[in-house]
Structure 1
């Protein structure tokens, strides 16, 4: 495992590489997350080489200045590939990271070999009642933690599983490592401006999904936050998709699609499918 600092507009973003036996996969976390999101995938599929940045405004990249948007994330990800000497990669994004993956693939079509989208990326209308003016209120549970001081990681873990991560295992050491990466001197390393700007872009920006011609694989959760909650993608949304594959992750909510061993194993298997198909295409 190595961590590098990559120069981008407004500062440097941190990029962690987990080296396995596969070709590199660029992995992109969600709107209020950070690169430790991918530790579950690394645990379930250690053969995968994962290139995992902390996006601007999060984790070790929290101090990067300037506006945040899907376009800016795509530009940052292009800079990551340049810095690591990678011409093109398979890309996996989760939640907002899946939307950033779509923007990256549309902006740099020769640099993305395939997309694995985890409960995001596919265009979806805003939830009932959500407007540009109410995005901050809807994401209040994520934003509220930045206003508190967390001198005890256990208190912070209790907060996470009582709000946005209700189905996760409180005792999971990977969850603890994730929470520890969020914190620095009792503060959450998360820009609330970046969260609101990126969430607004996801729901009200212009998606470039329908421009894409590369192979796309999509995994979706049964629930959003907690058991029996309405999913982000309805059955009608799923039925309308024309992509390489669609996989339902039943019994999991949004976070569980990657922050559980079962969800991460499914994502890893889907990435393996993309890698195998990529090899087949090159040998035809």
Structure 2
């Protein structure tokens, strides 16, 4: 099983004739809304679906990623929350468990704070709580994510070249021969496995990063969090030995400040991408999701 096996596809029209594309792979669990990261797409969940084929998973391409139209105005967490709620409405889903990775974790927390009646639980994968060490200007953000925006100016002749670039510049612990990685990254490209330009809006990427790092939106949403939440956080950020997004002490402080809703677990031996984009990381993420489903069952 993989994200290639999504059996349902919905197109949700948003203001300004913008369209959000979402997919569902029905399963035996309660419905789970999965929100991908900053430069990814709905196919991020390929590894998790392979690890736990019974999950009833709904995943959209965020605006400006994959098949979904970029916004004409600034991209924000609040804008993504509105889009996710529109997807739930289109599928006639009143309440869901929410799974979010990286930027998706921040969107998930904002969603739970904005519409708590629509969210049963949160499973956050290396994202969601505000980060202590973060860029302080848009220029720093543009430099920090230059590896992502560097993908955009090339008409990739084939998928293999694009995969090699992503592994070399963004995710050095991933296996370039992993077939799930090919499935995931093919959805980035205009022609899929035949290459093309990357379907990623660079302005939206930096806008979203700015809302996460340069505003208090993430901290404000976390303070309002009332639904059960689990955070699975990686030992490293990019590659073995790199400084993580969250240290143990930082996570302990966030958990203590939450006074109950948030629990956390370290995923050792993995970097940020590997929390989902590796068999072992996907297995740990699936276990965390299952705990969330069981705790609110």
Normalising by the smaller structure, the TM-score range is: over 0.9
1:187 paired residue among 186, 194, 197: 197
1:204 paired residue among 214, 224, 234: 214
1:251 paired residue among 269, 280, 294: 269
How far apart, in 2, do the equivalents of 1:192 and 1:84 lie? 29
> If the length of structure 2 is used for normalisation, what is the TM-score?
0.90
How far apart, in 2, do the equivalents of 1:7 and 1:56 lie? 12
Cα shift at 1:204: 1.4
Verify the 8 A CA contact 1:220 1:248 in the aligned structure 2.
yes
Match of 2:278 in 1: 260
1:185-204 superposed Cα distances (whole Å, 9 cap, x missing partner): 41000000100000011111
* 1:239 equivalenced with 2:252 (yes/no): yes
> If the length of structure 1 is used for normalisation, what is the TM-score?
0.95
Cα shift at 1:149: 1.4
Structure 2 residues without counterparts, runs of 5 or longer: 1-6
Match of 2:296 in 1: 278
Which range moves more in the overlay, 224-233 or 237-246?
Answer: 237-246
* 1:58 equivalenced with 2:76 (yes/no): no
* 1:31 equivalenced with 2:41 (yes/no): no
Match of 2:240 in 1: 227
Cα shift at 1:6: 1.1
Verify the 8 A CA contact 1:218 1:247 in the aligned structure 2.
yes
Verify the 8 A CA contact 2:70 2:204 in the aligned structure 1.
no
How far apart, in 2, do the equivalents of 1:8 and 1:117 lie? 26
Verify the 8 A CA contact 2:173 2:239 in the aligned structure 1.
yes
1:215 paired residue among 204, 228, 246: 228
Verify the 8 A CA contact 1:117 1:219 in the aligned structure 2.
yes
1:33-92 superposed Cα distances (whole Å, 9 cap, x missing partner): 101000111000111111000000000114454321000000001101100000111101
1:71 paired residue among 68, 74, 78: 78
* 1:169 equivalenced with 2:167 (yes/no): no
Verify the 8 A CA contact 2:19 2:69 in the aligned structure 1.
no
Match of 2:92 in 1: 85
Cα shift at 1:174: 0.7
How far apart, in 2, do the equivalents of 1:108 and 1:23 lie? 18
SS of residue paired to 2:264: strand
Q: How many residues align?
A: 278
SS of residue paired to 1:162: helix
CA RMSD of aligned residues (A): 1.3
Match of 1:153 in 2: 159
Which range moves more in the overlay, 87-96 or 131-140?
Answer: 131-140
